[in-house]
Every structure is written in structure tokens, then in C-alpha cells.
Chains A and B, each alone.
Chain A
């Protein structure tokens, strides 16, 4: 009985780790630019689709895709910011939120439709890769296939790197300055456009990496994006908008809750439970667990 619990817990932590990758990027981008990127999940889906095609045709090791995805999607994120998002940031605050939601939602629809067209020409609805290694047994506990374990290690390493980058590097300090007080940071010489573009690049790149891991543990469709965005939004609201630690803890809470609910009630209850958790947390703390009151 205890074994089952540990397995559920580990499974939940893995899912939570992937969610953390998604949510960290989203919360960073929101904190710096005040733009709510509803297309975040669709960039994840795009990342996993690109990874899928490359792995499908070249049979490369999925983990070799990480640097490729990072660079490609960092570039996509920077381009997206400079091309479209920058003009929303310049709008007056009362129209900025609605503009950002509508524009990124439009982007989400465009990505979804293009991806669905690409997939349907090959007669596919879902895509996933099975890169299975034999399960590992440690002290009577059967760990989920090692691909998952490696994924977890990579995810943890990635999160720590991102954390150190934000805490220690100069760019990271500028990012934090922009999150804390935009006006003062800009007046003190932080180059707003450059830093925001970099943040968006990181955000999208992390989403694409999360897409790669999702590809290995579950299957995705062209329409998975919005659902994942909602999950990521749930997480960052749970933790408090713009909070790094909040997003991390929110992701783990959601991952573990989903894992238990999926085991005891069935997966059709997952969305209901996750949104209920969100609503309960907001009732108790209207600004999220780690949000500033």
C-alpha cells in the first residue's frame, strides 16, 4: 500500500516538475512585461511538434533536442516580443490587459489551426514518442521508466540554473528590478526592451522544453495548447502572479493533486479538481499563496 503511495507521489512530482517549467516561464514573462501570454501553451505544443518531427525523421536521442529547442524557441520568443508584444506594452495600462489577452489568444488560434492542418495532412490527431527504457527497481519501489527519471533530473537542473541566472547574473538582476518596480528600474538605466525580449525568449524556450518532456510521458494534439495554458495560469495564480517560488510550489501542488485524483477518481476529474483547488486558494488568499497583498 505504501509502495503505491510513493509511486503516485513520484509520478505527481514528475508532472509537477514539467508544469513548473511551463509556469515559471509564464510568470517571469508576466512579471516583467505585465503581458498575460495566453498562447504560452501553444508554444509548448509547437515545441513538442518540432521535437516530434525531428526525432521522427532523424531518430536522434530526445535529450539531444534540448539545446536545439532552447536556441530555436529563444529566438522565436525574442522575435515575438520585438514584433508584436512590444507594441502592447506601450499601451495605457487599462487597455493593456485586454489587448494582451486578445492578441495572444489570436496567436494561439493561429498556431492551433496551422498545427492541426499540418497534422491532418498526415492523418494524425495525436502525436507522442515512446522512448522507453526498462523500469528501475530500488528497494522494492518500482520507479517510473528511467526516461522520466532523467527528465526529472534535467527539469530540476534547469530550474536551479534559471534560479541562479535570475539571482546572480546582471541580466537576472535587471529582470528582477523590472518585476519589482518598472518605472524606477527604467529610470535607473535598465534597458526595458532588451530585457523584456530576453525574458520572453527564456519563457518561450522553457515552454518548448516542457513540450519535449510532455511528448515523452503523454500524447499531445494540436489543440492541447489552451488547456495547458489554463493549467499554467492556474499554477501561477495559485502561487501569486509574478512569484518565482509561488509558481514552483503551485506546480508541485497541482502535479501531486492530479496524480492522486487521477488514481482514485479517474482522469476525467482532473480539470475539475485542479480548478476547484484554484478557486479555494483564491477564496482564502485573493492574491495567491505567495502574492503580494
Chain B
């Protein structure tokens, strides 16, 4: 039923609804894929948007530099490059734990921003101006359906992880990594697998996003607000449960949309206020609040 509704959105022929749903699906995918690692293993990857940015830039570079390259293949290369990047950073990152891991991954996101901004890499990434993609006619429709499919993939992945051996390993790591190790779990391998899954989904979402909006620059994929959006969405909704990032993404997108329309100043201020309130009163997320859980169990009968 919700899937049918999603598929029907382009039929409304309302560009506003279409672009809003597109953005919502992209952010939803980001939040779900972020939580694949962080929700189950407890490792807060604050630089998750790196994979999104790399996927997006991969698509943009391929489309602008090699115009004869088949588009479908470009879409496959964006998750691939994100995966390679994930493998590359997994060794240094997973030597760290707790606050160290969180900060190092955040630093990584910011590092990537400065690499894309650096004039020495202008020939590849276009610096601050970024890259424009030649637009095809049905761009918004194609990208919308791609976004629907990647969002569904992300939700299904998140949903099925706890039922797999990998999911159990991650949960054991979250409880106590050293004990998990003595019980025959290879923490490094489990964490890297989760990181690769989460990176490939985010990378694909990046490619779809850049194709959908038609351009990419460091600010659209890597500024501090975007960097932490998936984290915040997951926090609002609830972590380690597939409906958590979903709820958070929908709520935050609606709140932001209303704020942007109603208020001229202090968007960032109100966003910050939301963060403070969320962090203070419900770090486990909305779905973990006892009152809400009661309502959910009642609804289930």
C-alpha cells in the first residue's frame, strides 16, 4: 500500500511533491544505511555522508568527462567506488573505539569536504563550483523511481540484518567487543562487512541524488548540516530498528519543510534547538519512548 502510493507520486504531475518525495527518499536511504552499521554495532559513523558524496561525485565525473559511457554502468560504479573507499578506510577507522571512532569519522567527512574544495583538484571535481550534468528529459522521473528502489533496498537490508549471522555478531560487538571476540566472533570482519553494506547503499543513493538534481558541489553533499542529517534522523526515530530511521526521516523532513516555508530567519537556530531537545529527552529515539511503545503494542492488538 505505501509502495503503491510512492509509485504513484509522479502521476500527480506536481513538481513540488515529486522533488520533496525524492529528497525524502534519499535522506531516508541515508539514514537507514547509516543505521545498518551504527544501530547494530554501536559504532557512530559520523562521516557516513562520505560514501554518499563519493557515489555522487563518481557519477558526476563519469557523466561529465566520458560522455559516451553508458549511464546504467555509471550508476553501478557509484556504489562500487563508495565500497572501495569504505574498504580503504576500514582498517584505520576500526582500530578506534567509542568517542575516538566517532570523532575520526567526523574528521574524515570534513577532510573529504576540504579535498573537494581544494583548487588542486579542480580538474577532477570542479572545486567549489562543482560539476553540472547534462540533463535528459525524463531525469526527474527516472531518478525518482531509482530513489524508490534504493530506499526499499535500504529498508529491507536494515530489516533483515538482525536475522543474519552478521547481525548477531554486530549486536554482540555492541554489547561487549572483547567478550564477543573470545566467543569466536571476528569483530573487524563483521564491522567491515557492515560498513561495506552501508557504504554501497549510500554510494548508490549519492549517484541517484546527483543525477536527480543535475549538479554536485561540496556544499550540497558534504556541509556540516548534511553530514549529520542521517545521524539526527536516526536519533529522532530510534536506532537499531528499521522503522526508526524511517520515522525520523519523515518527521525531520516535514519539520524542515514547514520551517523553511513559515519562517524567514533562524532556520539553523531551530534545527539546533530540535537537536538539543532530542539529545536531552530522547537519545533512544521516538520509537523507544515508553509511551509510544505502549501505543504501538496496542495498535498491534
Can you report 17 A-B residue pairs in the complex whose CB atoms are below 8 A from each other? A36-B102, A97-B44, A98-B283, A101-B46, A103-B275, A106-B272, A109-B225, A113-B268, A113-B272, A226-B224, A233-B103, A234-B107, A271-B111, A272-B115, A272-B118, A279-B92, A282-B104
Chain A residues lying within 8 Å of B299, measured Cβ to Cβ, are none
B48-56, B64-72, B93-101, B243-251 - interface stretch: B93-101
Task: State the A residues within 8 Å of B (CB).
Answer: 30, 36, 84, 87-88, 91, 94-95, 97-103, 105-110, 112-114, 116-117, 226, 230, 233-234, 237, 241, 268-269, 271-272, 275-276, 278-279, 282-283, 286-288
Let me know if B10 is at the binding interface, CB within 8 A.
no
Let me know if B179 is at the binding interface, CB within 8 A.
no
New A-B pairs, 12, CB < 8 Å, besides A276-B111, A282-B104: A101-B46, A101-B279, A106-B275, A109-B269, A109-B275, A113-B268, A113-B269, A233-B106, A241-B100, A271-B114, A275-B111, A282-B95
B280 and A84 form a contact (CB under 8 A): yes
Chain A residues lying within 8 Å of B152, measured Cβ to Cβ, are none
Would you list which residues of chain B between 239 and 277 have a CB under 8 Å from chain A?
265-269, 271-277
A113 to B275, CA, bound (A): 14
A272 and B114 form a contact (CB under 8 A): yes
| A109-B279 contact, Cβ under 8 Å, with A101-B102, A282-B104 | no
Q: Smallest distance from the beta carbon of A37 to chain B beta carbons, Å?
A: 12
- Which of A88, A100, A268 is the one whose CB lies under 8 Å from B118? A268
Nearest first, the 3 A-B pairs at minimum CB distance are A106-B275, A109-B272, A102-B279
Output the nearest chain A residue to B174 by Cβ-Cβ distance.
A94
The B interface is mostly helix, strand or loop, or mixed, namely: helix
Q: Smallest distance from the beta carbon of A250 to chain B beta carbons, Å?
A: 13
Interface centre among B98, B231, B271, B272 (most CB of A within 10 A): B272
The A interface is mostly helix, strand or loop, or mixed, namely: helix
B96 and A282 form a contact (CB under 8 A): yes
- Which of A95, A113, A286 is the one whose CB lies under 8 Å from B266? A113
B118 and A269 form a contact (CB under 8 A): yes
A110 and B276 form a contact (CB under 8 A): yes
A102 to B225, CA, bound (A): 12
| A110-B273 contact, Cβ under 8 Å, with A102-B278, A268-B119 | yes
- Which of B108, B274, B275, B279 is the one whose CB lies under 8 Å from A88? B279
Output the nearest chain A residue to B89 by Cβ-Cβ distance.
A279
Output the nearest chain B residue to A223 by Cβ-Cβ distance.
B224
B284 and A87 form a contact (CB under 8 A): no
A88 to B278, CA, bound (A): 12
Output the nearest chain B residue to A269 by Cβ-Cβ distance.
B118
Q: Smallest distance from the beta carbon of A114 to chain B beta carbons, Å?
A: 6
Chain A residues lying within 8 Å of B120, measured Cβ to Cβ, are 268-269
Would you list which residues of chain B between 71 and 85 have a CB under 8 Å from chain A?
none
A98 to B151, CA, bound (A): 25
A110 to B277, CA, bound (A): 12
Chain B residues lying within 8 Å of A110, measured Cβ to Cβ, are 268-269, 272-273, 276
Output the nearest chain B residue to A234 by Cβ-Cβ distance.
B107
Q: Smallest distance from the beta carbon of B267 to chain A beta carbons, Å?
A: 7
| A286-B111 contact, Cβ under 8 Å, with A102-B279, A114-B269 | no
Chain B residues lying within 8 Å of A272, measured Cβ to Cβ, are 111, 114-115, 118
| A105-B283 contact, Cβ under 8 Å, with A117-B266, A275-B108, A275-B110 | no
